[in-house]
Structure 1
Amino acid sequence: MYAKQSGKALFPFIITLLLGLCVYLYLPNSQGEQSDFTPTATQVTAHTVASEENAILIEAIGSARANQAIYIKSAQNDYVTDIYFKDGDLVSKGQKLVQLQSQQEELTVKELAINLREEKRQLERLTELSRSQATAKSLLEEQLSRVDATEAQFENAKTKLAEMTIFSPFSGILGKRQISVGAYVNNSTIITSLDDISIIKVDFKVPEKYLAQLKVGMKVMTQNDAYPEKTFTGKVTHVSARIDSITRSVEVTASFANKSGLLRPGMLLNTALQLSSNQAMMVPEKAVIPQQDKHYVFQIEDGIATKVEVHVTGRHNGWVAIDEGISNGQQIVTEGIIKIRSGSQVTVKG
């Protein structure tokens, strides 16, 4: 009876001793682990802020046209004897293009030249006679009229002869040849086309609310799908005096130097007219957090992301212009924003 009671009394003591031993063995490891614990830094992508030009642009679609463009035609009617160009040739001003049959015109000029010399010889003779004979004065006046008439005929014949040869009126690129040697042409026959593409003009429309800001010389940028990574820069050369009553817009013409010849008449061009320009901090649009009527970014300094308020002045093509809140050279978070809060530790990828 006594042995059984003694065993029961020892049982709680043994349990307590075992629990104490477990606590003793566990606490050193637990405390050691807690002392070595550090928060894990969140990986983010960052952008280094830089001061860049912030342009206020008006975007529109325009149609390209040549600086000068004509169809080459003949002023005279006759047969073609020679052609001096090929399809698509680059030609200079005054370069010979086509020769028409001109033997008759050459003979007419030669005949009138002879007649004019004779009429002038007669005029000299009558001039000498008029000094001594009164009756010769009336003949002198008649001869003067003959000389004038012959000179007029001679000049007209020379003009017609000159028109039998067709020259390029300005420098440019020729189109397709539409005649052949031996063809009969008249003043309605199209021989070829000629375009001066050294300068390309683009016509586009701007809403009338910007009329007061429009002026000649403004910077214009344009792009075409044929050259998606190339931007052409020109300037405004004309602002229409009229407002379109249907679209309530004003037509603007911009001119682009086209030394490379990449721009061609008829191209559909995406244009951007620069109304004004200033320096601002340009950051990716995805880095800006809008909250009600305010905007914020996460600024990184010494591995800590801090949420700061910024002032946005404009947006263009995925970029935001900021003039207050951040400085040149600072880093801001662009990706990983949803995983952090102000004061979070971060590491920048790359």
Structure 2
Amino acid sequence: MHSTQSGKVLFPFIITLLLGLCIYLYLPSSNGEQTNFTANTTQVTAHTVKTEENALLIEAIGSARANQAIYIRSAQSDYVTDIYFDDGDLITKGQKLVQLQAQQEQFAVKELSINLREEKRQLDRLTELSRSQATAKSLLEEQLSRVDATEAQLQSAKTKLAEMTITAPFSGLLGKREISVGAYVSNNTNITTLDDISIIKVDFKVPEKYLAQLQLDMTVMTQNDAYPGHTFTGKVTHISSRIDAITRSVEVTASFTNNNRLLRPGMLLNTALQLSSSQALMVPEKAIIPQQEKHFVFKIEDGIANKVEVNITGRHNGWVAIDEGLSEGQQVVTEGLIKIRSGSKVSIKG
């Protein structure tokens, strides 16, 4: 009985002792341990601010087309005797592509050539006679007309004979061959396609509010998903004289030199027209902290990150241009923003 009462008296004392020990061990002491805890260094990623080119760009979607593009067709109708190209050949201007049956045209040229020689011989005889006989002058004039008519017929026959051989009107890349030897072709028969892709033209639209700033030879950059990370650079070569009444935009054409033939007609291209270019302090967009209508960054000085307000003048492709709040060579936090506040001690990774 006596031991039970003693246990009841000691139990509260033991509980109180344990609580005091816990408070002593886990609560920060008054000798600055709390201050040391909050002053722990936070690792962040930083970017050094530099003066770089700041381009004002108008982005749009464009459609690529060849500098020249045609269907190869025959001016005459006849049977194909020879084909001198394969699918997708790269050819030069004047290169022979197709030969049509041309015996009749060859005979016509030969016959008219003989007739012309005879008519000229008669003309020479009458010219001699006209010097001594007045009656020969009228015959001379008739013979001159015959010579002129025969010459015209011969030229027409030679033209028709030349058209029996189909040649390339300009250099370029051929498409699929759509005929075979022995086929009968007319002026409605598609033989193949020919595209001059040494220069690729891209048509895109620009809002009308930029019309006054548009000029020929402005720089245009374009990209396609087929070549990730590859940027093609060209120049504005045409600005439409009309504004689209529905979209309130003006069509612009840019030309790109395509010597390596990477760009092809029909491609969908992401274009960026450079309206102007200037030098500015460039900062990664992920370093910017928007708050209401203001923008801030964490600037690092002597290992301390301080929040400062900046003024943004432009954005492009993950970068922003700054004209107030920062100086060249200063460092700003780009990763780890949520772990720090103004006055935090930081260390830069790497």
TM-score by length of 2: 0.88
1:32-86 Cα shifts (integer Å, max 9, x gaps) = 9899999321111111112111111111111110000000000011111100000
- The unaligned stretches of length 5 or more in structure 1 are 1-28
Per the TM alignment, residue 107 of structure 1 is displaced from its structure 2 partner at its CA by 1.1
Partner in structure 2 of residue 150 of structure 1: 150
Partner of residue 94, structure 1: 94
- Find out whether 1:72 has 2:72 as its counterpart: yes
Show the counterpart of 2:349: 349
In the alignment, structure 1 residue 320 sits paired with structure 2 residue 320 = yes
| Residue identity (%) | 81
Provide the secondary structure at the position in 2 that maps to 1:277: strand
Q: Which amino acid aligns with 2:228?
A: P
User: Using the alignment, how far apart are the partners of 2:295 and 2:67 within structure 1?
Assistant: 47
SS at match of 1:70: strand
Gaps in structure 2 of 5+ consecutive residues:
1-28
State the AA in 2 paired with 1:143.
Answer: Q
Name the CA distance, whole Å, in 1 between partners of 2:281 and 2:315.
11
Task: Indicate the structure (1 or 2) with the bigger Cα radius of gyration.
Answer: 1
- Residues 183-198 of structure 1 aligned to structure 2 (within 5 Å): 183-198=183-198
Distance 1:35 1:269 in 2: 57
In the alignment, what sits opposite 1:15? none
Distance of 2:174 and 2:167 partners within structure 1: 12
Stretch moving more, 110-119 or 283-292 = 283-292
**d(CA) in 2 for partners of 1:119 and 1:289?**
95
How far 1:284 sits from its partner (Å)? Answer: 1.3
Shift of 1:164: 0.5
**Correspondence 1:167 to 2:167:** yes
Alignment CA distance shift 1:226-1:144 (3 Å):
same
User: Which residue of 1 is the match for residue 233 of structure 2?
Assistant: 233
More divergent stretch after superposition (312-321 vs 91-100): 312-321
Residue 56 (structure 2) pairs with residue 56 (structure 1) = yes
Structure 2 counterpart of 1:271:
271
8 Å CA contact 2:200–2:255 kept in 1: the answer is yes
Instruction: Describe the shift of the 1:267–1:30 C-alpha distance in structure 2 as closer, same or farther (beyond 3 A).
Output: closer
Quick one: distance in 1 between partners of 2:35 and 2:194?
85
Give 3-state SS (helix, strand or coil) of 1:138's partner: helix
CA RMSD of aligned residues (A): 1.9
Where 2:108 maps in the other structure, the secondary structure is helix
Correspondence for 2:218: 218
Alpha-carbon distance in structure 1 between the residues aligned to 2:342 and 2:31: 30
The match for 2:336 is: 336
Query: Could you report, residue by residue, the CA deviation over 1:126-180 in whole angstroms, capped at 9, with x for unpaired residues?
Result: 1111011000000000000000000000100100010010000000010000111
Q: Tell me how far 1:324 sits from its aligned partner.
A: 2.1
Give the superposition deviation at 1:332. Answer: 0.6
Q: TM-score, normalised by structure 1?
A: 0.88
Secondary structure at the counterpart of residue 275 of structure 2:
strand
Amino acid at match of 2:60: A
Change (3 A) 1:176 1:318: same
Deviation at 1:321, TM superposition (A): 0.7
Question: Do the aligned partners of residues 155 and 42 (structure 1) sit closer, same or farther apart at CA in structure 2, a change above 3 Å counting?
Answer: same
CA drift at 1:31? 6.4
The one-letter amino acid paired with 2:188 is S
